[in-house]
Structure 1
Amino acid sequence: MPAPYHRNALRHLARGALAVSALLASAAGQAAEELHLYNWGDYINPQVLSRFTEQTGIKVSLDTYGSNEEMLAKLQAGASGYDIVFPSVHMQDSMAALGLLEKTSIDRSPAFANIDPSFLRAKSDPKGEYCMPYAWGTVGIFYNKTKVSKPIESWADFFAEAKAGKKVIMLDDMRETLGVGLIVNGKSVDSTDLADIKQAESWLLERKPLVSAFTYESVPMVQSGDVAAAHYFVGAMMYVKQDPEHLAYVIPKEGATLYQEDMCVLKSAPNKANAKRFMEFFLQPEIAALNTEQQMNGTPNKEALKLLPAELRDNPEVNPGPEVMAKLQIFHDLGKDLKKYDRAWTRVRTAN
Structure 2
Amino acid sequence: MPKPPRSTPTGRTGAVRVVELLAYPGVQLLDVTGPLQVFASANDLVAEAGGTAPYQLRVVAKGGQGATTSSGLGIATAPLPRSSAALDTLIVAGGPGVEAALSDPEIVDWVRRRAARARRVASVCTGAFLLAESHVLDGRRAATHWSVCKDLARRFPAVHVETDPIFVRDGTVWTSAGVTSGIDLALALVEEDLGRTVALAVARYLVVFLKRPGGQAQFSAALSLQSAEDQFGALHDWINAHLAGDISLPVLARQAGMSERSFSRHYLEATGLTPGRAVERLRVEQARRLLSESRLPVKRISQRCGFGSEETMRRSFLRVLAATPQDYRVRFGR
TM range (shorter): under 0.3
TM-score, with structure 1 as normaliser: 0.25
Greater Cα radius of gyration, structure 1 or 2: 1
TM-score, with structure 2 as normaliser: 0.25
Higher strand content, 1 or 2: 1
